[in-house]
Amino acid sequence: MNTEALDDASIAAATALQPIVQIAADAGLAADALEPYGRYQAKIDVDRVSREAPPGAVVLVTAMSPTPAGEGKSTVTVGLGDALAAAGHRTMIALREPSLGPVFGMKGGATGGGHAQVVPMISINLHFTGDFHAITSAHNLLAAMVDNHLHHGNALDVDPESISLRRVLDVNDRALRRIRLESGDGRSTGFDITAASEVMAILCLAVDRADLAARLARMTIGFARDGRAITAGDLGADGAMAVLLQEAFKPNLVQTLAGTPALVHGGPFGNIAHGCNSLVATTTARRLADVVVTEAGFGADLGAEKFLDIKARAGDCAPAAVVVVATVRALKMHGGIAVDAVGADDPGAVRTGLTNLARHLENVRRYGYQPVVALNRFGTDTEEELAVVEDYCASQGVRCAVTTVHAEGAAGGAALARHVTELLDAAPSYTPVYPEGADVEEQLDALVRRVYGGAGVEFSAEARRQLERLREHGWEKLPVCVAKTQYSFSDDPTLLGAPSGFTVRVRELVPKTGAGFIVALTGTVMTMPGLPARPAAEHMGVHDDGTVTGLF
Amino acid sequence: MNTEALDDASIAAATALQPIVQIAADAGLAADALEPYGRYQAKIDVDRVSREAPPGAVVLVTAMSPTPAGEGKSTVTVGLGDALAAAGHRTMIALREPSLGPVFGMKGGATGGGHAQVVPMISINLHFTGDFHAITSAHNLLAAMVDNHLHHGNALDVDPESISLRRVLDVNDRALRRIRLESGDGRSTGFDITAASEVMAILCLAVDRADLAARLARMTIGFARDGRAITAGDLGADGAMAVLLQEAFKPNLVQTLAGTPALVHGGPFGNIAHGCNSLVATTTARRLADVVVTEAGFGADLGAEKFLDIKARAGDCAPAAVVVVATVRALKMHGGIAVDAVGADDPGAVRTGLTNLARHLENVRRYGYQPVVALNRFGTDTEEELAVVEDYCASQGVRCAVTTVHAEGAAGGAALARHVTELLDAAPSYTPVYPEGADVEEQLDALVRRVYGGAGVEFSAEARRQLERLREHGWEKLPVCVAKTQYSFSDDPTLLGAPSGFTVRVRELVPKTGAGFIVALTGTVMTMPGLPARPAAEHMGVHDDGTVTGLF
């Protein structure tokens, strides 16, 4: 087979898609629950989806600490879903929507790869059904209403210097990171990318429309001079924001190359937010399928942690099984090999790098799960390198399967699917790493010591002040959402493997009262990416017949 | 009949819509030319629309100089379309897309009103099929690539101070009018509303995808230090912009309350741009119908002038008939009555105000057309007032019909439709007000003297310098697009009626080399609106069942 030579776009273009109405009908969706967006995409009216069957089991796909190129987590998620479907399970996949901005920088798409993709991949990676745009609009309407309130007399006595709400755009535009409003009150503010918007986090955590509206109203934009929190509700913006999100709140149905139904909905950042697809998509998928395969952002210390401690608590969707994606390449990087040299055969480095995988597996166990390792095979991997990982897992009593879904689609995920199937009947067994009601300081201490393997937490003077303010407002028991590098368990991206003894330094504690969590900023977390010197955009175009070229 | 008591949203909600596939089939569209967006909206693949039949006749709806509330031009356009369809003509309507931003300020929607609306009105007035968002994305990607080019060494030697490209958002956000890029090179720039983007004008004037791509590449973003124009093509951004506009370039099919097919596509500003729906929508409608009713922005001095001198020349779509919408209320305002008092009976003021209508009619005649007056009746109009206008038109040999399409739908436009029908067989008779190849100075002089009725043009020192630069680059023969108040023939909004002897002062001449025109800025033209003290947004919301409230 020489399919790896074909790029993702070519593989996708060579596959005949089924009409989305057919995918929906096969998934048991009533015709009147479907709103088609083109021939191959549709939004689902969740009120018309039956709630009668017991909800399907959730399979969470997470990963070891990744290389900058990523370990193929979305690809494994799609391939596993296809393999489970091929094995006869009523399966649905739930994924994040890609962010438009990075597509024009250097990143490829976020719809899987090779023979494990969700399609139509070009549309999904571009405007899709407009959800990101709706979030951009809702967020920026609120921002405009904040400055409009100041302009028209500031009846709420908002302290302009306290305004934490920035604006958002779904474009990688470094020049907008910090701007001064010369035609406004002259204060400095800036733009984040839309995936970092609190509105995105809200859309992804709301259980229903009433919850969505209530969360929007609770968003804190800043403080009055007397210390009162000023919310979107105080400004009367929440209703209009909900209007702008009316369609965006409906999950999007697409299909994989193998015809497995997939809900692709919501795309919050994995650091400043919780990094998983919308709760409403996960819940809807569970109503329609016996098994729902879904993905968490980055490595398990960030992604799985937030899925379990934030999303699963908010929406009662604890997984039945947890899959940890590992690659020989990432293991070599954690074993001391430079990232641009991980293609060279080095079983010793793989062995050394196992410390990273081991800690992630230990964490998954601490949360109450028997982890399954998906060893995602790349073309440069040798049999000996793969055997190092398989032998290690066997020695630890951990299920492990080499996956080749990129090259082979569902067949390449059959072994992984068999492992996962053995766990599906188990009841969710989530054991919290910090108890409900823990203070944010206690939460951070538990995460750093028990999940990251560090020595403790240190707060900047600013974070200390913010901690006091959180307590004054009674927000200190909201779950913490740690914004941290994905490359290390620590807050230092150069500490690979399984570092210990480090202290995590919290720069800021930002209350996201609509999302219902407190962002703890550590290290240098970027909320507005920039474009590289030669952006991918330079190679794109559209033929006169409408065919897009150069996108992936 | 008491339907005027119902608001637009209630009337729209009470009407059962036909599935868009049915509307399309009735209009003769092949099923494979249709891409549904929900059940009642679709994009059209224009390559799959037959070019065999002779193109339909264009009926252009324009207006006298309006009041701030507007004279119901879109409503008359929709009602006339419905009336022509009811009379047995194969009719299609072509309209601009509403801008999202103003919906949350104080303006209502832009989809007609009463019993003459295009629907689904809530969706069309919100995100619709995402065209505005695609334009926002394409424009802002270019802006990001400009600053990224500066950041990565500025190989093209762009003079940062010369950069005229701003950013855009579809939100009324006055605080963004002027911003300083503190994280970029520190220069000042700002945001316009998306309708003011040159990308919008380009999308609306391109005849096909090749023309779209070429126009995007020609967009001037600023100048190099040696004076060279720097274009989107120089930055390699044009292809990616075309990718972002791939779907947006396809016209959107919807229906009126009466089931008449309507293409709603593109929404350029009526001052800084040419203010009419896309050329591709007009052309597509002409392939599908015998009569196409379309609208130009603002009064005839701005809207019809730009339709005839810019759009019709770019796309060979000169109208067969021109309808001028007039109201008793606007006539009273031009007759000296304060705008908040135009509801009181005053036939004398109506008579005095006829000077404004008269000049518009004279202009339409100068362009080679017999105008038809649509006297759009409001509830406060008296028979005597209406008779003043009808008698005047009769005395001038001008066709005139009182229209009541808001209250009565198609029946209220039957008389107008009969007048229009008499003109449909005439060949388009467009006579230019300035010849092809006229210099921008000559063009402006012709417009001011012959169309506006003024004494001449005066250029600011800045405009003089820009004129020299236009000549250096060979752009001086591009058609001029005058950004002027819509309330007066002059550049002073307080000079009502038919002023004369005035001079129009041109502040700036901005080359829009992608759109293919030169914007002449006069007076104070706002390219980013602000919100009022109590934005309409404050009254909006979504019920738990998804129903939108308070939008109109």
Nearest CA in chain B to A541: B239
In a domain, A545, yes or no: no
Q: Per residue in A268-291, is it b (16+ CB within 10 Å) or e — as a string?
A: bbbbbbbbbbbbbbbbbbbbbbbb
Domain boundary among B210, B244, B278: B244
For residues A96 and A110, the answer to whether their CB atoms sit within 8 Å is yes
For range B444-459, the mean pLDDT: 97
For residues B496 and B333, the answer to whether their CB atoms sit within 8 Å is yes
A169 touches chain B (CB under 8 A): yes
Closest chain B C-alpha to A380 CA, distance in angstroms: 33
Find the CB nearest A173 among B104, B147, B175.
B147
Question: Residue B184: is its pLDDT beyond 80?
Answer: no
Mutate to test the interface with B, among A133, A135, A139, A552 (most CBs of B within 10 A): A133
List pLDDT tens digits, range B43-79.
Answer: 999 999 988 889 999 999 999 999 998 899 999 999 9
HSE (side-chain half, CA atoms, 13 Å) at B261: 32
Stated length of chain B: 552
In this complex, do A37 and B38 lie within 8 Å of one another by their Cβ atoms? yes
Q: Bridge-partner residues for B550, per DSSP?
A: none
In this complex, do A239 and B546 lie within 8 Å of one another by their Cβ atoms? no
Q: Residue A435 has what DSSP assignment?
A: -
Q: Bridge-partner residues for B181, per DSSP?
A: A179
Per-window interface: A 268-287 vs B, CB < 8 A: none
Please tell me whether residues A337 and A412 are part of one structural domain. Answer: yes
Write phi, then psi, for A124 (nearest 5 degrees): -60, -35
A185 touches chain B (CB under 8 A): yes
HSE (side-chain half, CA atoms, 13 Å) at A54: 6
All residues at 6 or more sequence positions from B283 whose CB lies less than 8 Å from its CB, including other chains: B46, B55, B207, B315, B317
Q: Per residue in B429-443, is it b (16+ CB within 10 Å) or e — as a string?
A: ebebbbeeebebbeb
Residue A552 pLDDT: 78
Question: Residue B460: is its pLDDT beyond 90?
Answer: yes
For range A210-238, the mean pLDDT: 97
In a domain, B542, yes or no: no
For range A286-299, the mean pLDDT: 94
Find the CB nearest A537 among B39, B141, B169.
B141
A214 touches chain B (CB under 8 A): no
B55 touches chain A (CB under 8 A): no
Nearest CA in chain B to A125: B244
Per-window interface: A 289-348 vs B, CB < 8 A: none
Residue A462 pLDDT: 96
In a domain, B150, yes or no: yes
List pLDDT tens digits, range A32-45.
Answer: 999 999 999 999 99
Q: Cα(B440)–Cα(B518) distance, rounded to whole angstroms? A: 8
Percent of chain A with pLDDT over 90: 88
Residue B7 pLDDT: 87
Q: Cα(A239)–Cα(B534) distance, rounded to whole angstroms? A: 14
The total number of structural domains that make up chain A: 3
List pLDDT tens digits, range B122-138.
Answer: 999 999 999 999 999 99
Q: What residues make up the domain containing A43?
A: 3-49+56-124+251-424
Please tell me whether residues A73 and A138 are part of one structural domain. Answer: no
Closest chain B C-alpha to A413 CA, distance in angstroms: 34
Nearest CA in chain B to A212: B544
Stated length of chain A: 552
A118 touches chain B (CB under 8 A): no
Q: Bridge-partner residues for A512, per DSSP?
A: A517
Please tell me whether residues A219 and A295 are part of one structural domain. Answer: no
Please tell me whether residues A43 and A85 are part of one structural domain. Answer: yes
Q: Rounding to the nearest 10 degrees, give the CA dihedral for residues B536, B537, B538, B544.
A: 130
For the residues of B226-277, what is the DSSP string, one character each? Answer: TS-EEETTTTT-HHHHHHHTTTTTSPEEEEETT--EEEE-----SSSS--S-
In this complex, do A246 and B209 lie within 8 Å of one another by their Cβ atoms? no
List pLDDT tens digits, range B33-45.
Answer: 999 999 999 999 9
State whether the Cα torsion B430-B431-B434-B438 is positive or negative.
Answer: positive
In this complex, do B184 and A169 lie within 8 Å of one another by their Cβ atoms? no
Find the CB nearest A148 among B140, B152, B531.
B531
Question: Residue B293: is its pLDDT beyond 70?
Answer: yes
List pLDDT tens digits, range A139-170.
Answer: 999 999 999 999 999 999 999 999 999 999 99
B544 touches chain A (CB under 8 A): yes
Neighbours of B226 (CB within 10 A): 7
Identify the CA nearest to B100 among candidates A159, A535, A522, A134: A134
Q: Which three-class secondary structure state does DSSP give residue B443? A: helix
Identify the CA nearest to A71 among candidates A328, A385, A319: A328
Annotated binding site of A: 67-74
Please tell me whether residues A419 and A446 are part of one structural domain. Answer: no
Annotated binding site of B: 67-74
Question: Residue B108: is its pLDDT beyond 70?
Answer: no
Residues of A in contact with B541 (CB under 8 A): 213, 238-240, 242-243
Neighbours of A40 (CB within 10 A): 20
Nearest CA in chain A to B141: A171
All residues at 6 or more sequence positions from B422 whose CB lies less than 8 Å from its CB, including other chains: B399
SS3 labels along B49-116: CCCCCCCCEEEEEEECCCCCCCCCHHHHHHHHHHHHHHCCCCEEEEECCCCHHHHCCCCCCCCEECCE
Mutate to test the interface with B, among A103, A540, A549 (most CBs of B within 10 A): A540
Please tell me whether residues A408 and A482 are part of one structural domain. Answer: no
Which band of pLDDT confidence, cut at 50, 70 and 90, is reported for residue A90?
Answer: very high
For the residues of A504-542, what is the DSSP string, one character each? Answer: EEEEEEEEETTTTEEEEEES---SS----SS-GGGG-EE
Q: Cα(B40)–Cα(A308) distance, rounded to whole angstroms? A: 40
Q: Cα(A352)–Cα(A497) distance, rounded to whole angstroms? A: 8
List pLDDT tens digits, range B246-292.
Answer: 999 999 999 999 999 999 999 999 888 999 999 999 999 999 999 99
Which band of pLDDT confidence, cut at 50, 70 and 90, is reported for residue B310?
Answer: very high
Q: Cα(A352)–Cα(A423) distance, rounded to whole angstroms? A: 29
Find the CB nearest A182 among B136, B180, B549.
B180
Residues of A in contact with B190 (CB under 8 A): 183
In this complex, do A185 and B175 lie within 8 Å of one another by their Cβ atoms? yes
Residues of A in contact with B171 (CB under 8 A): 137, 140-141, 144
Residues of B in contact with A163 (CB under 8 A): none
For range B333-350, the mean pLDDT: 97
Q: Which three-class secondary structure state does DSSP give residue A189? A: strand
Domain boundary among A244, A263, A296: A244
Residues of B in contact with A243 (CB under 8 A): 126, 540-542, 548, 551
Residues of A in contact with B548 (CB under 8 A): 243, 246
C-alpha distance across the termini of chain A, in Å: 21
Mutate to test the interface with A, among B41, B141, B215, B234 (most CBs of A within 10 A): B141
Identify the CA nearest to B352 among candidates B312, B392, B300, B323: B392
For range A491-515, the mean pLDDT: 96
H-type alpha helices, A152-278: 198-205, 209-218, 238-244
Please tell me whether residues A210 and A255 are part of one structural domain. Answer: no
In this complex, do A541 and B127 lie within 8 Å of one another by their Cβ atoms? no
Please tell me whether residues A283 and A397 are part of one structural domain. Answer: yes
In this complex, do B145 and A544 lie within 8 Å of one another by their Cβ atoms? no
SS3 labels along B398-435: CEEEEECHHHHHHHHHHHHHHHHHHHCCCCCCCCCCCC
Identify the CA nearest to B320 among candidates B361, B362, B368: B368
**ipTM for this model:** 0.96
In a domain, B382, yes or no: yes
Q: What is the mean pLDDT of chain B?
A: 95
List pLDDT tens digits, range A96-116.
Answer: 999 999 899 976 678 999 999
Residue A107 pLDDT: 60
Which CATH number do you get for residue B109? 3.40.50.300
For range A459-473, the mean pLDDT: 97
Write phi, then psi, for B474 (nearest 5 degrees): 75, 25
Annotated binding site of B for ATP: 67-74
Q: Cα(A232)–Cα(A219) distance, rounded to whole angstroms? A: 5
Q: Which three-class secondary structure state does DSSP give residue A279? A: helix
Please tell me whether residues A354 and A456 are part of one structural domain. Answer: no
Q: Cα(B195)–Cα(B133) distance, rounded to whole angstroms? A: 11
In a domain, A22, yes or no: yes
A vs B: CB pairs below 8 A: 247
Please tell me whether residues A285 and A412 are part of one structural domain. Answer: yes
Please tell me whether residues A310 and A223 are part of one structural domain. Answer: no
For range A527-550, the mean pLDDT: 92
Strand duo A252-256 + A116-119: pairing? antiparallel
Please tell me whether residues B200 and B157 are part of one structural domain. Answer: yes
All residues at 6 or more sequence positions from B433 whose CB lies less than 8 Å from its CB, including other chains: B305, B309, B366, B367, B446, B447, B450, B451
List pLDDT tens digits, range A408-447.
Answer: 999 999 999 999 999 998 888 899 999 989 999 999 999 9
Per-window interface: B 446-485 vs A, CB < 8 A: none
In a domain, B540, yes or no: no
Find the CB nearest A171 among B134, B140, B170.
B140
For residues B146 and B222, the answer to whether their CB atoms sit within 8 Å is yes
Q: Cα(A529)–Cα(A193) distance, rounded to whole angstroms? A: 7
Domain boundary among A400, A424, A448: A424
Closest chain A C-alpha to B502 CA, distance in angstroms: 32
Per-window interface: A 217-236 vs B, CB < 8 A: 236
For residues A130 and A98, the answer to whether their CB atoms sit within 8 Å is no
Residue B4 pLDDT: 45
Q: Cα(A335)–Cα(A338) distance, rounded to whole angstroms? A: 9
Nearest CA in chain B to A232: B538
Give the type of residue at A351. R
Find the CB nearest B171 among A47, A141, A543.
A141
Q: Cα(B66)–Cα(B548) distance, rounded to whole angstroms? A: 31
Mutate to test the interface with B, among A243, A527, A552 (most CBs of B within 10 A): A243
In a domain, A534, yes or no: no
Question: How deeply is A461 buried, as exposed, middle or buried, from its count of CB atoms within 10 A (0-12, 13-18, 19+)?
Answer: exposed
Q: Which three-class secondary structure state does DSSP give residue B500? A: coil
In a domain, A195, yes or no: yes
Which CATH number do you get for residue B509? 3.10.410.10
Which band of pLDDT confidence, cut at 50, 70 and 90, is reported for residue A184?
Answer: confident
Residues of B in contact with A168 (CB under 8 A): none
A178 touches chain B (CB under 8 A): yes
Q: Cα(B55)–Cα(A106) distance, rounded to whole angstroms? A: 46
Which CATH number do you get for residue A189? 3.30.1510.10
Q: Cα(B73)–Cα(B312) distance, rounded to whole angstroms? A: 20
All residues at 6 or more sequence positions from A320 whose CB lies less than 8 Å from its CB, including other chains: A57, A58, A59, A423, A424, A425, A426, A427, A428
Q: Residue A334 has what DSSP assignment?
A: H
In this complex, do B240 and A538 lie within 8 Å of one another by their Cβ atoms? yes
Structure-token pair, residue B221 = 């973003």
Question: Residue A270: is its pLDDT beyond 90?
Answer: no
Query: Which position has the token pair 């593109």?
Result: B266
Mutate to test the interface with B, among A103, A173, A199, A552 (most CBs of B within 10 A): A173
